[in-house]
Amino acid sequence: MFSSFVVLSSIATGLSSWIGAPVFMPFLVVAALSLAASASVLRSLSTQITEGQAKQRPQLPDVNARLRYIPLLLVGVLGALAFASENAHQSWGAVFLEDELGAGPGFSSVGPAVFAGVVAIARFSVGRIQQGNESLILILGSVTAALGALVIAMSPTLPIAILGLIVAAAGTAALYPTMLSLISRGVDEAYRGRATAIVTTVSYIGFLLGPVYVGLWSEATGLGGALMAVAGLGVVLSVVALPLLRLSGYTHYQGARALIKS
């Protein structure tokens, strides 16, 4: 759903630019939608709290004392590499199409929209992949993401750049859901929320730093060189995926308490 809304926001922002609307207009719309969402969440929470007061909440184990944090942090590092590549394309794709290939301000929004659209379709489908192939999926996905970034970096025309975005998105899309699959099967249900939160927090550090990474490389080598550096993230992920999974114990997964101290 996150990727689906990236598609909608990219197209809407591109149309706003194309018709000559003020730059602040998309931000104003997002602010209004965010306030509406906040109000909806507050009403929902109020209802849940009222209903929950009449029910006795079950006693849950002390997750702080039982979770094995190191394996979760190692998987989070893999997620950070995956998200850094993903947000690099979503944040800089339109800039590359406009500055390097001469796309207009309206058409340039097609770049991140295409990328996010492929990611959304792939993630809605990735749950059908048979469990047990996680290591292979991570390696193939990261290599494919690197290949797509290279195609974009060296693309002479818009169609080839769009093709590169499709390839990069297809490779990137499967990475984080695969890691979440590992987490959900490696942690008992009582610990799953905390474990997922730890992995997600570490992973989103990469999401935040991805655009900064591109910006720093772009200043030094140009935007094409920066996208080659993004391809390097995929190569690094493909190399370290198996070693980090082995260190975390996931390649020797045995039962639903692999991440809980005995």
* Spatial contact of 214 and 229, defined as CB atoms under 8 Å apart: yes
Alpha helical stretches, state H, the chain: 2-18, 25-52, 63-66, 69-99, 110-125, 134-153, 158-173, 175-186, 189-248
Could you tell me if 7 and 116 are in contact, meaning their C-beta atoms sit under 8 angstroms apart? yes
Residue 10 burial (CB count, 10 A):
23
Q: Do residues 224 and 100 lie in contact, with contact meaning Cβ atoms separated by under 8 Å?
A: yes
Provide CB contacts within 8 A for 189, sequence distance 6+. none
Q: By CB neighbour count within 10 A (0-12 exposed, 13-18 middle, 19+ buried), where does 75 fall?
A: buried
SS3 state of residue 61: coil
Does the pTM surpass 0.85? The reply is no
In order along its 262 residues, the chain shows pLDDT tens digits of: 888 888 888 888 888 888 888 989 999 999 999 999 999 999 888 877 666 555 555 555 554 546 678 888 889 999 999 999 999 998 898 889 988 888 877 778 888 889 999 999 988 887 666 566 778 889 999 999 999 999 999 999 999 999 999 999 999 998 988 888 888 777 777 788 888 899 999 999 999 999 999 999 999 999 999 999 999 999 999 999 888 888 777 654 443 344 444 3
Domains annotated on the chain, with CATH: 2-252 (1.20.1250.20)
Task: Output the CA angle 204-147-250, nearest 5 degrees.
Answer: 50
